[in-house]
A and B are shown apart, each in its own frame.
Chain A
């Protein structure tokens, strides 16, 4: 059975995926030259750290032969038979749904001759999560990758991409969730602080299928992970979760796009971030589009940021566009704030010292996402990372009151 036979017709349509309105203004192309070099005035680069991302704008041969900048540790995938022979530019399913939306993504497409192809076999349930480790070998090593993750019809599984080390890394993730499949995909950015990482995730969810997509960013100098999810099939469902902790000098960005295309789809976007230290920066742009045929859609998106110290900045821009009146519900929310004095007072009035009270509030704030991961090893690593961050921030003065 080939992939195309089991794919709903509208997924295999020859026409490129062109989202309407909000993102339709963004051109798509496989040719880097068509994008030109970003200046920082473009809508999708406006809030990005252009200076540090600049090396990824260079369209150059990056990896030849076995000399690659990222050490892909894929043993678990291999031993469980989830790795398919590398996919060349013209080999399906590479490019089935992916269309580069910016120059970095187009370069990653072009300069990655063989895409890594992960496939959950049809009808199979992977009881245990699979962790692939991507370890950067140097902050001066420009790397490009296109990765295809394909959940075949009726398959169930959890795949974690865990990034660490130092790198200058452009990455595309093409995520295809075929009908009736249930995939959890978690991208963890646990990089060293000299890493610059720009990643475009594009996912399509077929009929009756479900994708839980998570972006967890703690490390990295710049981590720009932009996921989009198209709920294409009838009753397709998707959750997009994000968790970030930005320290001094870190720029963590996610431009999130949820596109309700099919009938009776359900989508939920929840991104939470904590920031501390001078120059800590987070950017979240959340677009939700409910297409004109997407009747009976149920959609919600929310971004919440907790600013722990002065000198940190969080940008949060939610957009919701509805093209049909016949929906079940749609909403969005964004809140960026400092510590809630009433929460701290409540905890302190029970004898808990101020620093411990802050710790509880921050951990509690972030736990909502951590608890959704469902991979004990990763949850444990995150709990440790949060504690590490808080120890690092313990010496910093707490954010002064809003309006002060």
Chain B
């Protein structure tokens, strides 16, 4: 049982016009085996929260804390956070020319578990995970994200999550750009991993579509860098009908 705790988190970025505040005091606690949906209009700070948890250098933490089972996440480097059990499925995964998927996966697995996986077992688990995600075995020989379709990129992110077995995963708009079939496959993957390992999930999304496949325990509505409303999965249904206008008009 693990807990990811975010307290009064304030984050800004440097722009050409100077410093821009994005997160203005976010409080959020996620336990193992829980799914929290973070919803909100564009520009409300959802992705900033995701990248701040992962430690992207562009985001400057001005205040507050993030802890994982009491450990100070903000004091950790990007790779240390991953080894501590955090995972970010990115909205726009980056191409790494000349590095094959299989080489990348093995290198990452070795880094996370501190030792090289046993070859036979590893090949088996990669093959199994790829089958689950309906990925062709030849995928392993391609260079990381190079020439991948939108759907392939997202499946590749979930594949990594399945193999690296994090304690907490942040899924940053994993549903964007997916057709119905791909959305279902990816969602099944998330549900399966959660069922097997008690993964805690922060599911960032603009749309409610993915929530038909992944049932959230809690829904948090982000507006203007703060959580404007929280509730159970019924809140998602309400958002589906009403949209975000209500919050924007209220000028939260």
A225 to B113, CA, bound (A): 46
Please tell me if B123 contacts chain A, counting CB pairs below 8 Å. Answer: no
A368 to B97, CA, bound (A): 8
Of the residues A351, A354, A366, A368, contact of B83 by C-beta under 8 Å: A351
Interface string of A343-357 (1 = CB under 8 A from B): 101111111111011
- Closest chain-A Cβ to B159's Cβ sits at a distance in Å of 12
Of the residues B82, B95, B98, contact of A351 by C-beta under 8 Å: B82
A298 to B137, CA, bound (A): 34
Residue pair A364, B97 in contact (C-beta under 8 Å): yes
Please tell me if A341 contacts chain B, counting CB pairs below 8 Å. Answer: yes
**Tally of chain B residues near chain A (CB < 8 A):** 28
Residue pair A348, B82 in contact (C-beta under 8 Å): yes
A247 to B96, CA, bound (A): 24
Residue pair B79, A351 in contact (C-beta under 8 Å): yes
Residue pair A352, B96 in contact (C-beta under 8 Å): no
Our count of residue pairs bridging A and B at CB distance below 8 angstroms stands at 79
A350 to B90, CA, bound (A): 11
Report which residue of A348, A361, A366, A367 has the largest number of chain B beta carbons within 10 angstroms of its beta carbon. A348
Please tell me if A360 contacts chain B, counting CB pairs below 8 Å. Answer: yes
Of the residues A343, A345, A350, A356, contact of B56 by C-beta under 8 Å: A345
Please tell me if B160 contacts chain A, counting CB pairs below 8 Å. Answer: yes
Please classify how large the interface on chain A is, using the bins under 10, 10 to 19, 20 to 34, 35 or more.
Answer: 20 to 34
Assuming the A-B contacts A346-B93, A352-B108, are A368 and B98 also in contact, with contact meaning beta carbons closer than 8 angstroms in the complex? yes
Assuming the A-B contacts A349-B54, A360-B99, A364-B143, are A343 and B94 also in contact, with contact meaning beta carbons closer than 8 angstroms in the complex? yes
A343 to B145, CA, bound (A): 11
Residue pair B111, A345 in contact (C-beta under 8 Å): no
For residue A320, which residues in chain B have a CB less than 8 angstroms away from its CB?
A: none
For residue A399, which residues in chain B have a CB less than 8 angstroms away from its CB?
A: none
Residue pair B160, A350 in contact (C-beta under 8 Å): yes
Please tell me if B107 contacts chain A, counting CB pairs below 8 Å. Answer: yes
List 23 A–B pairs whose Cβ atoms lie within 8 Å, in order of A's numbering.
A343-B95, A345-B78, A345-B94, A347-B104, A348-B78, A348-B82, A349-B54, A349-B55, A349-B78, A349-B82, A349-B90, A350-B164, A351-B108, A351-B111, A351-B112, A351-B164, A352-B82, A352-B108, A354-B77, A354-B79, A356-B111, A364-B96, A365-B98
B interface, CB within 8 angstroms of A: 54-57, 77-79, 81-83, 87-88, 90, 93-99, 104, 107-108, 111-112, 143, 160, 164
A interface, CB within 8 angstroms of B: 340-343, 345-354, 356-357, 360-361, 363-368, 371
